[in-house]
Amino acid sequence: MDNEIILMRHGQPNLATCDKVSARGMKRWIEQYDAAEVSGQPAPEASLELALAAHIIVSSSAPRALTSVRALGLQPTLIGEVFCEAQLPSGRWAVARLSPFTWAFILRILWLCGYSRNVESARQSKVRASEAAQKLQSLSGEGSVLLLGHGFMNRMIAKQLKASGWVRYTSTGNRYWGAVIYRRRDGLEPLIN
């Protein structure tokens, strides 16, 4: 039997539309995003099928992940902060006003380059992703594991899984509800590189 870990991104958060904000204004937007639950739209059929096939359900403690688990009609076996998204820093700059998603992209690049004002650094997030990957691998001995997590942290966890010999088997993308399946298949080639 193949060990299997499914890294699924949460559904779309229910956020009020927002005009352009400054980097300073991103602090409030990030707080609202972190507190948001998913919108009332049902989970896609493909995500539902993947989730129902899993033996162990794991979730980030973030509201958008927990409400995604409920939208799938499941109960998590394990909920943990270790699976939460890598935090975005905010800035002190008030001059440029951009869309929150443009700022999120810029702030993530700055974060990767070492800017981590008042949040966990990229290095600390990598350590946390390693801990998360170890937990998932440990659980996979009991059956297939589904993690309802977040886009960037799921990618960081995936790197740790690959380093431990797991291979990416298939992917539905990294958008909301997207999932990537990793398998530990001793002696067999991965289906996707």
2-13: pLDDT as tens digits: 689 999 999 999
89-126: pLDDT as tens digits: 988 888 889 999 999 999 999 999 999 988 999 999 99
- C-alpha distances in angstroms, 29 versus 19, 24, 25? 11, 10, 7
Determine the longest span between alpha carbons in the chain, in angstroms.
Answer: 57
Percentage of residues in the chain having pLDDT higher than 70: 94
Q: Give the separation between CA 106 and CA 88, rounded to whole angstroms.
A: 10
State pTM to two decimals.
0.91
Mean pLDDT within 144-167? 97
**Domain spans in the chain, listed from the N-terminal domain onward:** 3-184
Q: Give the separation between CA 178 and CA 172, rounded to whole angstroms.
A: 5
CATH T-level topology, domain 3-184: Rossmann fold (3.40.50)
38-72: pLDDT as tens digits: 988 889 999 999 999 999 999 999 999 999 999 99
Whole-number pLDDT of residue 1? 47
Pairing outcome for strands 56-60 and 145-149: parallel
Q: Exposed e or buried b for every residue in 24-49, given b needs 16+ CB within 10 A?
A: ebbbebbeebeebbbeeeebeeebbe
Whole-number pLDDT of residue 94? 82
- With tokens 């975005």, the residue in question is 88
How confident is residue 165, by pLDDT bands cut at 50, 70 and 90?
very high
Whole-number pLDDT of residue 83? 98
